[in-house]
Structure 1
Amino acid sequence: MPTFTINDRELTVPEGTTILQAALANGIDIPHYCYHPGLSIAGNCRICLVEVEKFPKPAIACNTVVSDGMVVSTESEKVHGWRKSVMEFLLVNHPLDCPICDQAGECRLQEYSYQHGASTTRFVEEKEHGPKRRDLGPHVLFDWERCIKCTRCIRFCEEVPKTGELGMFLRGVREEIGVFPGRELANPYSGNVVDLCPVGALTLKEFRFRSRVWFVTDVPSVCPGCARGCSINLGTLRNEIYRITPRANHAVNRWWICDEGRLWNRRLREAGDRRLATPRSGEQEGDWGAALEAASSALAPATRKGGVALLASPRATVEEIYLLARLAAGPLDGARVYLPRHERGENDDLLIRSDRSPNRRGAEMVLEAVAGGFGEVADLERELDSGRIDVLLALGPGLLGPVDDEGDVIDRESLGHASRVIVLDAYPSALSAAAQVLLPVSGYAECGGTWVNFAGRVQHTERALLPTATVRPAYTVLADLFDSLSSKKAPAPAEVATHLAQEVSAFAGIDWAALPGSGGQDADGCQAAEQACPATGAAARMLASGWKL
């Protein structure tokens, strides 16, 4: 491995490492626009110029490979002069419209202009003007005047989803990003070009002009859209999710998320007026005490006759599934738990999974260990049809958002054979419509919890929103039912991690206190990184040369 010197620091790095990669990995900041670890190296923005001893001219740090004995300076007087010249060139035709630009506050052009540019301009001629709101596809708009031609968006479409809709057209000062004739930027990952754009040239229609970014608070969370469980940030303001952006996690999603997950907040906003918010028992509405009493009164006699079944949800948290399993194994005297499947579409080569549940793996782990296993919905339907099930206690399926585009979890005719259906849910479904007792619970991002993705990665979701006053966390509702049916108290939320570590072998090695805000940890026996989103571009080369991302 070559050893070289950078800013008087001696570093040893794997063969094939570039100066920029070595610097960033060791806390040395070198400005860069076109370089991104998930993309191939283009070397066209030139802001990463550095001085290399014995080199006859400036070297671009992003594409200059470290060699043994190399001496590099990133802070010399020459380097500062080069950066200032590059910034002046990039700003020649820039509109300087930061006050109305969505990227303001997280714009690298803005940041580097302060850090490395001149305080005044020598350019007094009329700037070139171009299209300000070019529609590239269903989610992305392009502003020609702000574009610095870094080509990140083009390389992303070519190398990650491999759809190649974008290209660079014309030449010289008129050069511009665009879609090829007859096409639009409509691949399932198109929103990532907005995250990649280092300036404000590409903006997301769904977030455009909705808020200044410094008013938005990013809360670390996990995407609820499928079993991949991508790490994300929920951008919240006024108790609403304004935007969703990817959070880098090399054991799961790298730097990307799909458009469906990115727009989950729109899904929640559009369904807001259909939210389940009022408890119901028979004809009586709005009384939590009466609803819980009705549920307990139905469950107790049915338990003595062995006529209770529970429907878990692979969209519930590990903590909620654990208490449901404890309820089944204890107060409900070993009642059988069933776990539905929410399948749609097919797995793709990047992130999207056909299993539309973020916690099926976690639910299976808990139910196997605590409830002695689980059954399939087809088995439950046969039990209902035979008349052996008198009371059904169901969790979900609308815990994370509306389910209008999904089929019924249980056949409606079979569901009609139960004399009592008790449902805990956040959004309406055929199950909640059939419920004699409805217990509205917190929805997505309204309480914290743990999910396990299909590869065994254990991740924590943090609360980002406050629920309405008339709903309660699902764990609290299950705890109330547990307490009313048993002489023992349900475990307190703070105690669940200890119970899980003791009772579920897959969680024995999890450091629960370290989960919030992190990229998660592997359950025992799992290697989630082996099934992560494929590494592309510079990252693939770095992994091949021995780097650990």
Structure 2
Amino acid sequence: MTTEQAAQTVQITINGTEVEVPAGELLIKAAEDAGTYIPRFCWHSRMKPVGMCRQCLVEVEGPRGTMLTTSCTMTVNDGMVVNTESDTVKKAQEGILEFLLINHPLDCPVCDRGGECPLQDQTMAYGPGESRFVEEKRHYEKPIPISELVMLDRERCILCARCTRFSDEISGDPLIEFKERGNNTQVLTFPDEPFRSYFSGNTVQICPVGALTAKPYRFRARPWDLEAVESTCPHCSVGCRISVESSQNQVLRFNGVDNDPTNQGWLCDKGRFGFEYINSTERLETPLIRGEDGELHEASWSEAIDAVADRLGGFKGDEVAGIGGSRNTNEEAYAFGKFLRSVVVTPHIDAQLGDGLAPEFIGGVYPRATIDDLERAKTILLWGPDLKEELPVLYLRVRRAAAELGANLIVIHPRNTGLDDVASHTVRYRPGTGADLIERLVAGTGELADVREALNVGPVVALVGRPGLAEDIRLPEAVAAFARDLPEAMVLPLVRRPNVFGALAMGLAPNLLPGPAEITDADARSRLEEAWGPLPETDGLDATGILEGLASAELGALVLLGADPVADHVDPVLAAEAIGEAGFVVAIDQFLNDSSRLADVVLPAEGFAESEGTVTNVEGRVQKVNRLIPGPGQSRPVWAILDDLARRMGGELGAPSAAALAKEILTLVPSFSAVGWDELDWGSGREGILIEPPLRYLPVAAGITQHAQSGFSLHLAHTLYSDGTLTGSVPAFAGLAPEASVHLNPGDAARLGINGGDLVRVTGDAAVELPAVIDDGLVEGTVYVPAGRREARALGSTLAVAVAKGTVRQLSLEGGGS
């Protein structure tokens, strides 16, 4: 131990044993790390201590003798002597538990928390075993729904304040609070204001009793009936670690795992409750082939594989394209790229859908920030999506950095965001004026002088992405180029889908090989061609180019892997036209979605919790995904489907298993050479392993040609819930997605004579009519439309739009920034 390390520790005695612990550590945590568990209810390692429940009382020796004190509020000091097992401590613990049980209903047989309840466990371990209370207990109406996802049973509540503190300290939406006083104190939401938080499920997980329960899990299973594996959340690119739990081959719940580099135990409600699509009766169970009547009909696997191989074999390699892979594992993405490049021999590959960033920017920008770098940042520049809507747990990490750790947060966005209340500076701008705003930031004069001065305090972490889908794809790169000149700057590109980075690292981009490496990288080509055979020598088309090529008949066939361009591409009209005009389309998917319904052959694939492999999050952290249940019906692993297709077309993927693909990746992709499954299953590897891509890309500020025109600029941005196929297959999310609407600045609405609820016509690529919401979170000249709504698809993502008042009055709506 170094002198510096020794200065940071102190010696204390716990139950007669000397231990060395970090200086300034809370006693309850220091004791636990040293192997002594102190019972508790209110204390949580990720929240501030409050000492409310008194269950953690211990004896500490002082100059005036021993005293009982709450170990969750006392920090250790050198020479401290602590006793957690004395008769006095045991009597205090028994008394606290007896007091807590006075009004507790003791309905363990019908409580969802039964079998994993801290109150139950600690009563058995530390309680008196018998109660002296014989009077009538306190009663409340039970249970009551406090949101679409959470039920509250006030009789079970022990007033530990974990739920209220989480909502206030961590998520920043204090919608649940203590009400009344004394014996009538209870936890409740405010009148006419439900617990509509994006993070409400965390309160269920941290509740030490069954006072808060999750509707999707209520009465579904007992803990001892559940099988569980640790895995990675499949809903966005943060890569939250989760426990996936099932019974009788049905996934019944996700719980957060405290993974320090990523989610620190928290999940958003989409991640926590979005598992229900796995069990959906709409899942594909058998291959489908389009018959002469124009309808899709069930077929055998051999018939379907033969049909795909025969049809794809009728096209030249560069007449075939592939889209998808960003929702699949690294191993499946690798197999998809290998199939397309070495068997079909096409360069036209893209994992993104026109809504992301340049592949070389995502995969090669440096110096690259990690999520943990937010903990050390003095300044955070956020110019990208509204994190609360698109990357919610990253929102929690940024919020903690600003509100608790003291970082200066600068938020630049076209609309009010969920982080504005903790930001030191907020800048609103009209979409299409981003390049001008960068120039003004560089100058640092006028109203931006204070912002520019704040950006001079390093280390600076710049979180950059597309604030809206109508904005120039090169804007984030220009922001990164500006940010790189700031003190000790690091850049983290933000993308939404769960495995975009991993798919790009596996070569699912028109200009990248696995690595990621450039197409012209001689070492990468040589290494891959030795194993794969000859590769296409030129860059291919991106997703938009592929769709345009299909629509114009320059391309003939399309292979979709877990992708739905008709719903998710920035130009859904083009996507529908392209797939409809294509000579042949095969979709490998879990559902019949808007795109696979147009396919000629649909192959049912296993999905999350049914397949194993790895995924790579937004910062380049590779984490394990584990198998728990079998897929429905005749669905098969993606790698197995592609392997059969390759052999039927005269090629060879050499993929007898996902594990075999993982070993091939270790050999052929240098950045993954230390990322074996064994390393990810044990020790520190369970937190994930950061890769160092060989690609080094310097962002440039040039190239933005988009500028705001007269009229209105469109801000088209995703929300947490939408009507997509996966979220639409989750019953718990019914009604949570915001209605399709048009948000207008009050001044713009007044000039046009539009009131909240009026039907408004917005014309972009085409015209849509939606109800108006008056939104003072927008700058004038900006129109906000939530993306992912079927009613708004025809609008497209053109920046310049026209707005006019309709003739029909809708129901009254009011709104503001999130």
Q: TM-score, normalised by structure 2?
A: 0.60
CA distance in 1, matches of 2:569, 2:542: 21
Secondary structure of the corresponding residue to residue 581 of structure 2: coil
In 2, are the aligned partners of 1:281 and 1:436 still within 8 Å (CA)? yes
| Partner of residue 286, structure 2 | 278
Unmatched 5+ stretches in structure 2? 1-8, 292-296, 357-384, 396-493, 520-538, 694-818
1:319 aligns with 2:340: no
Matches within 5 A, 1:439-518: 439-493=603-657, 494-516=659-681
Deviates more, 1:281-290 or 1:420-429: 281-290
User: Of the candidates 309, 326, 343, which is equivalent to residue 321 of structure 2?
Assistant: 309
Task: Name the CA shift for 1:351/1:403 in 2 (closer, same or farther; >3 Å).
Answer: farther
Q: CA deviation at 1:323?
A: 1.0
For residues 516-538 of structure 1, give each alpha carbon's deviation from its aligned partner in whole angstroms, at most 9, with x where no partner exists. Answer: 48634223238xxxxxxxxxxxx
Deviates more, 1:52-61 or 1:37-46: 52-61
In 1, are the aligned partners of 2:347 and 2:541 still within 8 Å (CA)? no
| Partner of residue 692, structure 2 | 525
In 1, are the aligned partners of 2:325 and 2:332 still within 8 Å (CA)? no
Deviates more, 1:65-74 or 1:308-317: 308-317
Q: CA deviation at 1:252?
A: 1.1
CA distance in 1, matches of 2:622, 2:107: 43
Task: Name the CA shift for 1:384/1:343 in 2 (closer, same or farther; >3 Å).
Answer: closer
CA distance in 2, matches of 1:396, 1:83: 54
Instruction: In structure 1, give the amino acid aligned to 2:55.
Output: I
| Partner of residue 369, structure 1 | 513
Unmatched 5+ stretches in structure 1? 527-549
CA distance in 1, matches of 2:146, 2:288: 47
Secondary structure of the corresponding residue to residue 393 of structure 2: coil
Secondary structure of the corresponding residue to residue 454 of structure 1: coil
Q: Calculate the aligned-residue CA RMSD, in Å.
A: 2.6
Instruction: In structure 2, give the amino acid aligned to 1:165.
Output: L
In 2, are the aligned partners of 1:483 and 1:490 still within 8 Å (CA)? no
| Partner of residue 730, structure 2 | none
In 2, are the aligned partners of 1:315 and 1:359 still within 8 Å (CA)? yes
CA distance in 1, matches of 2:154, 2:282: 41
CA distance in 2, matches of 1:462, 1:406: 32
Secondary structure of the corresponding residue to residue 2 of structure 1: strand
Q: CA deviation at 1:259?
A: 0.8
| Partner of residue 385, structure 1 | 551
CA distance in 2, matches of 1:277, 1:398: 18
Q: CA deviation at 1:300?
A: 2.2
Q: CA deviation at 1:253?
A: 0.7
For residues 319-348 of structure 1, give each alpha carbon's deviation from its aligned partner in whole angstroms, at most 9, with x where no partner exists. Answer: 111111111221222442122238697322
User: Of the candidates 207, 212, 215, which is equivalent to residue 197 of structure 1?
Assistant: 207
Q: CA deviation at 1:12?
A: 2.5
Q: Number of aligned pairs?
A: 521
| Partner of residue 49, structure 2 | 41
Matches within 5 A, 1:418-429: 418-429=582-593
CA distance in 2, matches of 1:214, 1:241: 14
User: Of the candidates 62, 82, 101, which is equivalent to residue 91 of structure 1?
Assistant: 101
Task: Name the CA shift for 1:446/1:53 in 2 (closer, same or farther; >3 Å).
Answer: same
| Partner of residue 358, structure 1 | 498
Q: CA deviation at 1:282?
A: 3.5
1:26 aligns with 2:34: yes
| Partner of residue 168, structure 1 | 178
User: Of the candidates 263, 288, 302, which is equivalent to residue 289 of structure 1?
Assistant: 302
Instruction: In structure 1, give the amino acid aligned to 2:546.
Output: L
Secondary structure of the corresponding residue to residue 281 of structure 2: helix
Q: CA deviation at 1:487?
A: 4.8
Secondary structure of the corresponding residue to residue 3 of structure 1: strand
CA distance in 2, matches of 1:57, 1:10: 20
CA distance in 2, matches of 1:242, 1:404: 28
Secondary structure of the corresponding residue to residue 127 of structure 1: coil
In 1, are the aligned partners of 2:59 and 2:66 still within 8 Å (CA)? no
Q: CA deviation at 1:506?
A: 2.2
Secondary structure of the corresponding residue to residue 35 of structure 1: coil
For residues 411-468 of structure 1, give each alpha carbon's deviation from its aligned partner in whole angstroms, at most 9, with x where no partner exists. Answer: 1112233211111111112321121122111132221121111111211111122123
In 1, are the aligned partners of 2:355 and 2:569 still within 8 Å (CA)? no
Instruction: In structure 2, give the amino acid aligned to 1:440.
Output: P
In 1, are the aligned partners of 2:610 and 2:627 still within 8 Å (CA)? yes
Deviates more, 1:175-184 or 1:472-481: 175-184
CA distance in 1, matches of 2:253, 2:335: 32
In 2, are the aligned partners of 1:31 and 1:112 still within 8 Å (CA)? yes
Deviates more, 1:346-355 or 1:226-235: 346-355
Instruction: In structure 1, give the amino acid aligned to 2:110.
Output: I
Task: Name the CA shift for 1:390/1:341 in 2 (closer, same or farther; >3 Å).
Answer: closer
CA distance in 2, matches of 1:415, 1:138: 37
Instruction: In structure 1, give the amino acid aligned to 2:669.
Output: V
Instruction: In structure 2, give the amino acid aligned to 1:48.
Output: C
CA distance in 2, matches of 1:488, 1:313: 20
CA distance in 2, matches of 1:457, 1:374: 27
Q: CA deviation at 1:251?
A: 1.3
1:128 aligns with 2:138: yes
Q: CA deviation at 1:95?
A: 1.4
| Partner of residue 386, structure 2 | 346
| Partner of residue 544, structure 1 | none
CA distance in 1, matches of 2:151, 2:208: 15
CA distance in 2, matches of 1:128, 1:505: 64
Task: Name the CA shift for 1:487/1:385 in 2 (closer, same or farther; >3 Å).
Answer: closer
Secondary structure of the corresponding residue to residue 23 of structure 1: helix
Deviates more, 1:189-198 or 1:371-380: 371-380
For residues 126-183 of structure 1, give each alpha carbon's deviation from its aligned partner in whole angstroms, at most 9, with x where no partner exists. Answer: 2222332133222222222211110000100101111111221222221111123342
CA distance in 2, matches of 1:171, 1:238: 45
CA distance in 1, matches of 2:39, 2:335: 50
In 2, are the aligned partners of 1:83 and 1:116 still within 8 Å (CA)? yes
CA distance in 1, matches of 2:677, 2:311: 36
Percent identity between the aligned chains? 33
For residues 48-72 of structure 1, give each alpha carbon's deviation from its aligned partner in whole angstroms, at most 9, with x where no partner exists. Answer: 1111112542011111111111111
Q: CA deviation at 1:505?
A: 2.5
Matches within 5 A, 1:10-21: 10-21=18-29
In 1, are the aligned partners of 2:339 and 2:653 still within 8 Å (CA)? no
Q: TM-score, normalised by structure 1?
A: 0.89
| Partner of residue 331, structure 1 | 343
| Partner of residue 536, structure 1 | none
1:207 aligns with 2:227: no
In 2, are the aligned partners of 1:34 and 1:43 still within 8 Å (CA)? yes
| Partner of residue 425, structure 2 | none
Secondary structure of the corresponding residue to residue 131 of structure 2: coil
